[in-house]
Amino acid sequence: MCGIAGYVGYREAAPLLTGALRKLEYRGYDSAGIAVLETEGVLTVCKAKGPLDALERRLAEGMPHGTLGIGHTRWATHGEPSDINSHPHTDTHGAIAVVHNGIIENYLPLKQWLEARGAVFQSDTDTEVIAQLVSYYYHVEEARTHTSLFDAVLSALYRLEGSYALAVAAAAFPDRLIAVRKDSPLIIGLGTKENFLASDAPALLAHTREVYYLEDHEAAVVYRDHVDLYTGEGERIIKNPVHVDWDTAAAEKAGYAHFMLKEIHEQPRAVTDTLRPRLVYDSAGIPCDINLDALDLFKTPLRRIVLTACGTAAHAAIVAKYAFIRLARIHAEVELASEFRYGEPLLSSDDLVIVVSQSGETADTLAAMRSVKKSGARLLAITNVVGSTLARETDATFYTWAGPEIAVASTKAFTTQLICLYLIALKAGFVQGALNNERYRAALAGLEALPSGIEAVLSQTELVQRFAARQFNKSKVFFMGRQFDYATALESALKLKEINYTHSEAFAAGELKHGPIALVDTDTLVVVIATDPALFDKVVSNIREVRSRGASTLVITRKGAGETAFAPVAEEVLTLPETTEAAFAPLLAVIPAQLFAYYCAVQRGNDPDKPRNLAKSVTVE
Ligand code: AGP
């Protein structure tokens, strides 16, 4: 996720752009930049690695003057944070500048294609291909018909796969900006003799509250005194502006009350962004393989996988342990990073150690990673932050493309970590012969269905909210499940602990009689996670046992068979869509648990974004 801004009007563009970027910093803050069309027709680009302050310091040394410009605050995906990789990116001639929020999945073949036609690239980003492609269609001989910038942008879009919100400025067109979107947000703010562009409303509210929300595949040519709106095919359309009445704080959260809730709802998109660029599609558009070539994981057979992480990332690792065993038939184990670093682990060059960390800065996780490097075992990092210490110190890094996670309680980091781990487990299973082609392809289709599965779970939010209103004050909450559901239970209990400050514990359902049942009384809520029909009967007896001791119960189970099995015995049943593999169920089952923790915390009057005693990133031991 990144933030983009644009201005065309009568005022100095540079300070307006940096002001807008300040309001968009929550969307990305590893680098920032602007391009201003100066009065003599030169596009001047100024950009800097680091937070917006670094750009402002650079601008203080020499501010470009002009009344049209674009800006960007970056959360790196392709190419580490650096001055060169910061946006705006320009074509080889420096005459067309682009800012982009999204991911261009086919940027590598496009880059090669453009290089073969003379384009000279500066950065490692996917975005630069857009500037070069627009330039190609604007300039090349065989495309002379593309006389206008807008036509060139539309022609470029036909070549792009992935998601984008784009703002384009060109030296030859001092009167206009081009804006287009697909799967990433973009808003046009309407002023008087000036108009604005931004990823999100907070960047506009100081200047206007009248906006056009661009829908997918819509485009706009933004002039000083008017805006022309188009379909992606270039047909003119008419829309009514919308009046935004949020205050700035609400707008940063896209109208959600808290970042945590916004991030819960971002999961369909975050999962799609993490998944799709790694899938290979056949000519019918059906996923047929996973491309993990860059990670170079399968040069020799994988015999043992060790996963290490802290907190939520460790819970994703526990799901992965079961997934590696079930899908790839590879021995896998998980060690908390805080234990691993002191555990003198037995590792050899046959082992693959996967280190998982959203921030890539957790002290214990980094220490674990460094001890693996000394052991000679193969090492892979999964992280959300390009350029983080973990990414820099590890040769092979697999990124979750979740965008910045602001809330302390991790949500979209967990589900996107699962996607990365599922991809590795499935590929390993296929390459090493544990999965036949049929099951492999069915599993890939199942992965693709997960974002809509999340949407289906999110549509039951009201039910969760009502249940939370009745249960938030329980003094004990136990989460139980078996196998994959046990992993989900661990993550669910952590969420409730973190933000509702409830004593919540997870245990493997089979352990109930071995101790935990002694704690069950009328002030206890037991949340049962049961996604595997083969285990339903056993779980039904567990529920009867706790209900007979006065506990309240919620069951998170799959539609159909799950409802039939649990509706007669549980107080509340929440259903999940089916998944093609049992391994994928935690990615859906965790969503109601995230919502439940969130609504309990709100009911109690806690701030879910800033839980007491906790920091987003634990950079000390
Ligand atoms: C999750 O909700 C927590 N805030 C915490 O457990 C977190 O997952 C843990 O500190 C690990 O962080 P990392 O993924 O950035 O390494």
For 479-536, write each residue's pLDDT tens digit: 999 999 999 999 999 999 999 999 999 999 889 889 888 888 999 999 999 999 888 8
> What's the pLDDT at 143?
54
Identify the band that residue 146 occupies on the pLDDT scale cut at 50, 70 and 90: low
Partnered with residue 97 across adjacent β-strands are 90, 169
pLDDT confidence band for 78 (50 / 70 / 90) = confident
Domains defined for the chain, CATH in brackets: 3-248 (3.60.20.10), 255-448 (3.40.50.10490), 457-607 (3.40.50.10490)
Residue 247 clears pLDDT 80, i.e. is over it: no
Between CA 474 and CA 550 the distance in angstroms is: 12
Residues 105, 161, 426, 317: is their CA dihedral positive or negative?
positive
Of all atoms in ligand 1, which is nearest to the CA of residue 408?
A: 4
| SS3 of the chain: helix, strand, coil, percent, to 5 | 40, 25, 35
- Tell which one of 362, 411, 421, 490 to mutate to probe ligand 1, the residue whose CB is within 8 A of the most ligand atoms: 362
Question: In the prediction, which pLDDT does 144 show?
Answer: 56
How far apart, in whole angstroms, are the C-alpha atoms of residue 545 and residue 563? Answer: 19
Ligand 1 neighbour 132 (Cβ under 6 A): no
Indicate if ligand 1 lies below 6 Å from the C-beta of 417: no
User: Residue 263: is its pLDDT beyond 80?
Assistant: yes
CB of 365 shorter than 6 A to ligand 1: yes
The per-residue pLDDT for 476 is: 94
The CB of 410 under 6 Å from ligand 1? The reply is yes
Provide the terminal-to-terminal Cα distance of the chain, rounded to the nearest Å: 30
Q: Which stretch of 2-6, 208-212, 251-255 has the lowest confidence by average pLDDT? A: 251-255
How far apart (Å, rounded) are the C-alpha atoms in residues 621 and 613? 15
Question: Do the Cβ atoms of 553 and 528 come closer than 8 Å?
Answer: yes
Lowest-pLDDT range of 67-76, 131-140, 461-470, 610-619 = 610-619
Q: Is the pLDDT of residue 421 over 80?
A: yes
In tens, the pLDDT along 186-236 reads 999 999 999 999 998 888 988 999 999 898 899 999 999 999 999 988 899
What number is the average pLDDT over the span 579-592? 97
pLDDT given at position 141: 57
Q: Which residues are catalytic?
A: 2, 616
> Over 70: is that where the pLDDT of 102 sits?
yes
Dist. CA 400–CA 417, nearest whole Å: 6
Q: Using a 6 Å cutoff on CB, does residue 498 contact ligand 1?
A: yes
Report how far residue 137's alpha carbon sits from residue 156's, in angstroms, rounded to the nearest whole number: 7
pLDDT at 600 over 80: yes
Q: What is the pLDDT of residue 253?
A: 83
Question: How remote is the CA of residue 22 from the centroid of ligand 1, in Å?
Answer: 26
pLDDT bucket at 142, cuts 50 / 70 / 90: low
pLDDT tens column, 229-240: 999 888 999 999
Helical spans, DSSP H, in 324-382: 337-340, 363-375
| pLDDT for res 580 | 94
What is the rounded average pLDDT of the residues 151-168? 93
Give the pLDDT of residue 342: 85
Cα(358) to centroid(ligand 1), Å? 7
Residue 145, pLDDT above cutoff 80: no
- Please indicate whether residue 359, judged by its CB atom, sits closer than 6 Å to ligand 1: yes
Percent of the chain with pLDDT over 90: 75
Across all residues in the chain, what is the average pLDDT?
A: 92
- Burial bucket for residue 226 (CB in 10 Å: 0-12, 13-18, 19+): exposed
Backbone angles phi, psi at 309, to 5 degrees: -175, 180
For residue 385 and ligand 1, the question of a CB distance below 6 A is answered with no
Q: For position 272, what pLDDT does the model report?
A: 95
With contact defined as beta carbons under 8 Å apart, do 69 and 78 qualify? no
356: CA distance to ligand 1 center in Å? Answer: 10
Q: What is the reported pLDDT for 336?
A: 96
Is a pLDDT exceeding 80 seen at residue 109? yes
Distance 467 CA to ligand 1 centre (A): 27
Could you tell me the distance, in angstroms and rounded to a whole number, from the CA of residue 618 to the centre of ligand 1? Answer: 8
Would you state the pLDDT for residue 348?
A: 87
pLDDT tens-place string over residues 272-306: 999 999 999 999 999 999 999 989 998 888 889 99
User: Which residues, in sequence order, are bridge partners of residue 359?
Assistant: none
Q: What pLDDT shows up at residue 522?
A: 92
Q: Under a CB-based contact definition with an 8 Å cutoff, are residues 130 and 180 in contact? A: no
Q: Is residue 334 predicted with pLDDT exceeding 70?
A: yes
